[in-house]
Amino acid sequence: MEIDVIILSYARNETIIQMNNTCIDSINSSTNKHKFNIILIETDVSKNHSYHQKNVTVIQPNIEFNYNRFLNIGLEYCKNNWILITNNDTIYHPNFIENMLYANENDNELMSMSCIDDDWFRHVNFNRNVPVHYGHNVGLELTGWCIFLNKEIIKTIGKFDERFTFWYQDDDYSRNLIKHNLKHGLISNAKVTHLLSKSHDFIESSKKYNMTDGVFKIFYDKWVNLH
C-alpha cells in the first residue's frame, strides 16, 4: 500500500532541514510493507529545496504561511486512500503505520487516528493495554502533531478551514469529526517521539498573536457562539 504524507516546513536554516530529514527517514524506515508519497510544503522560497529521499516532492507556494491553506495545497497532491499529516518535529517508531491500519481493520469506522508519544502521555492515566482510546479531546486522543486519516474523512467534512492559520486547527478538525459522528482514536502501539513545539519557531513575533491566541474568536464564533 502507498500512503500520502503531508509535512509543513519553514527550512530557514540547516537545523530545520535536518529535522525534516530525520522525520522523513523515520517514516521511510518504519516499515518495509508500505510505501510513502511525501509531500513537503515549504514556506521558505529564498532557494530551491530538495531532499535526498526519492519519494519527497517539495511544493513552495510562494504565499504567506497559513497552516490550513498549506494543508489544503498538500491535499491536492494526495492520490492514495490514506493520508498522514505530521509535524516535521516528529520521529516515527517502527510499525506505527501497520498498527494504525490494523486498528482500522478491526473497526472499519475508525478512519481518523493519532500516534502516542510515551513521554507526552506519562502524566495521563491511560491504560496502555487498551489498543484504541476513542475520543476527540485535543492533546489526548487527538494529537495535532500526527493525524492519520482516510480520504473519506475529507470527503465528509470538506477541506480544512483556512481561517485557522495555525492554532485551533486541530480543535476545528475535532469539532468537525464530532459534528459528522466520525470516530477518532489514539492507537496505543503506534508510537512517535514528538520534539515539542519545535515547529512553532518559524512564526514571526509580530504575527504570532494573530496565528495563535488571536484565532480563538474565530473558533468560538464557529463552534460555541452559535446563536
Query: Which residues are CB-neighbours of 146 under 8 A, at least 6 positions away?
Result: 84, 85, 86, 87, 90, 114, 115, 192, 194
Predicted structure pTM score: 0.92
Written as tens digits, the pLDDT of the chain (227 aa) is: 999 999 999 998 999 999 999 999 999 999 999 999 999 999 999 999 999 999 999 999 999 999 999 999 999 999 999 999 999 999 999 999 999 999 999 999 999 999 999 888 776 777 878 999 999 999 999 999 999 999 999 999 999 999 999 889 999 999 999 999 999 999 999 999 998 655 445 555 545 555 556 788 899 999 987 64
Any domain includes 48? yes
SS3 state of residue 58: strand
One-letter amino acid of 138: V
Query: Helix, strand, or coil here: 4?
Result: strand
CATH code where residue 199 lies: 3.90.550.10
Query: In this structure, are residues 48 and 113 in contact, taking their beta carbons and an 8 Å threshold?
Result: no
Domain coverage including residue 166: 2-222
Based on the structure, what is the number of domains in the chain?
1
pLDDT in tens, 122-171: 767 778 789 999 999 999 999 999 999 999 999 999 999 999 998 899 99
88, 19 contact by CB (below 8 A)? yes
Phi then psi for residue 159, to 5 deg, are: -70, 165
Residue 227 placed within a domain: no
